[in-house]
Amino acid sequence: MDFAYDATTERLREQLLAFMDERVYPAEPVFHEQLAERENPWTSVPVVEELKTEARTRGLWNFFLPGELGAGLTNLQYAPLAEITGRSPSLAPAALNCAAPDTGNMEVLAMFGTEAQRKQWLQPLLDGEIRSAFAMTEPDVASSDARNIATSIRRDGADYVLNGRKWYISGAMNPNCRIFIVMGKTDPDAEPHRQQSMILVPRDTPGVHVKRGMQVFGYTDGDHGGHAEVIFDDARVPAENLIDAEGSGFAIAQARLGPGRIHHCMRLIGMAERAIELMCRRAVSREAFGKALAQQGVVQEWIAEARVRVEQLRLLVLKTAWLMDTQGNKGAHTEIQSIKIATPASVEWILDKAIQLHGAGGVSQDFPLAELWAAARMLRLADGPDEVHKRSLARRELKRYL
């Protein structure tokens, strides 16, 4: 047992921290100005492209992807780097080409794509030239159980025809989001885990209607393509767009989830660290009732509790990454679920306190706290609400005593 990062991680952390200080944090105000000025409220802005170019030049690129196609890092090596990008979550993950949902989509294509699929879609994604979306969640069913997904993918000659309604399809409002991986039912009569398939659907396919941007506590998240409601109305794609085979949709979804959750959780921890920093800076610089906030007992209580929670969370996420590296996603099942339960809830708590400490500023657009809070809150629902994961984790724990 050893709690020190290895040499590769330490080296990359240093390089990444330098990049954050030199380029990312200074780009934050520029980013907000450019967002305010753009015409289409769903597009990316120039400063992000500049950061991408710079990051790639510095070798800070595709860290998320193991193997030859990516940076070759283990999950345990990537985790502390993902954490750092979470300190500036609108810029840093995109700058390093490590932003969701592209990361998960690239993993799917790397693992399950045909050579043609990889050439057409994976390569430009790896190069950061296009964006992509993952179309799973549906408004009319409890999508946390993937078996409930109702969108139909029907074989018709050399094509598949899609019909259904999806929402909260992140990134899909962005015109540069060129390709959707869509989950749907190819065989409603198969056994429950074998009814679903995934298929590649270009955004400009006739019958694909990107209808509107869904909000998250008033935020549109337009800077990274929003969260679209998408209607598939007899959308037709060639059969070779199918990923893997008919009936493998559920299995691919499972494979995609593990790393995705680790990444989200590590970035959340970075967000929490940013919140603690903002909390401390505010506390030492603001007075009320004749003394600095930093000297007030309740503020100290919040800061201590935040620190204690973050330290615990980080270790559990790192251990989960280690388990995935050493025992595979299945061997890390309980831990993946544990971090999915624990991280958004704890980080939400920390952000709430940071907001409270900032007064009205805390809920405003002048500090990143409220927007970070909304992101953390959303993650108590995304990929299934906490309650679903707790139920599943508990049933596995209880099984040992049956």
Contact stretch for its own copies (CB under 8 A) within 39-47, 65-73, 251-259, 338-346: 338-346
Report the site for its own copies in 138-177 (rule: CB under 8 A). Answer: 139, 142-145, 167-168
Contact stretch for its own copies (CB under 8 A) within 111-119, 185-193, 267-275, 393-401: 393-401
The two tokens of residue 249 are 């949709």
Determine the distance from the C-alpha atom of residue 256 to the mean position of all C-alpha atoms in its chain, rounded to a whole number. 12
When asked if residue 394 is in the footprint of its own copies (CB under 8 A), the reply is yes
Contact stretch for its own copies (CB under 8 A) within 120-128, 199-207, 255-263, 303-311: 303-311
When asked if residue 300 is in the footprint of its own copies (CB under 8 A), the reply is yes
Report the site for its own copies in 30-59 (rule: CB under 8 A). Answer: none
Nearer to its own copies, 23 or 309 (CB): 309
**Smallest gap, in angstroms, from Cβ of residue 278 to its own copies?**
10
Determine the distance from the C-alpha atom of residue 212 to the mean position of all C-alpha atoms in its chain, rounded to a whole number. 21
CA-CA-CA-CA torsion for 383, 40, 99, 252, nearest 10 degrees? 50
When asked if residue 342 is in the footprint of its own copies (CB under 8 A), the reply is yes
Q: Quote the CA–CA distance of 385 and 142 in Å, as a whole number.
A: 10
Contact stretch for its own copies (CB under 8 A) within 22-30, 150-158, 182-190, 305-313: 305-313
Contact stretch for its own copies (CB under 8 A) within 24-32, 175-183, 184-192, 287-295: 287-295
When asked if residue 18 is in the footprint of its own copies (CB under 8 A), the reply is no
Q: Quote the CA–CA distance of 215 and 342 in Å, as a whole number.
A: 24
Give, as one character, the DSSP assignment of residue 236: E
Residues 6+ apart with CB under 8 A from 316: 335, 338, 339, 342
Nearer to its own copies, 56 or 286 (CB): 286
Give the residue among 76, 378, 19, 37 at the shortest CA–CA distance from 220.
378
Calculate the alpha carbon distances from 52 to 24, 72, 238, 380, 392 in Å. Answer: 10, 19, 33, 29, 39
Q: What is the DSSP string of 156-204?
A: ETTEEEEEEEEEEEETTTSTTEEEEEEEEES-TTS-GGGSEEEEEEETT
Which of 288, 328, 330, 331 is in the footprint of its own copies by CB under 8 A?
A: 288
Which of 24, 65, 76, 228 is in the footprint of its own copies by CB under 8 A?
A: 76
Q: Quote the CA–CA distance of 373 and 350 in Å, as a whole number.
A: 9
Report the site for its own copies in 369-388 (rule: CB under 8 A). Answer: 370-371, 373-374, 377-378, 380-382, 385-388
Report the site for its own copies in 81-120 (rule: CB under 8 A). Answer: none
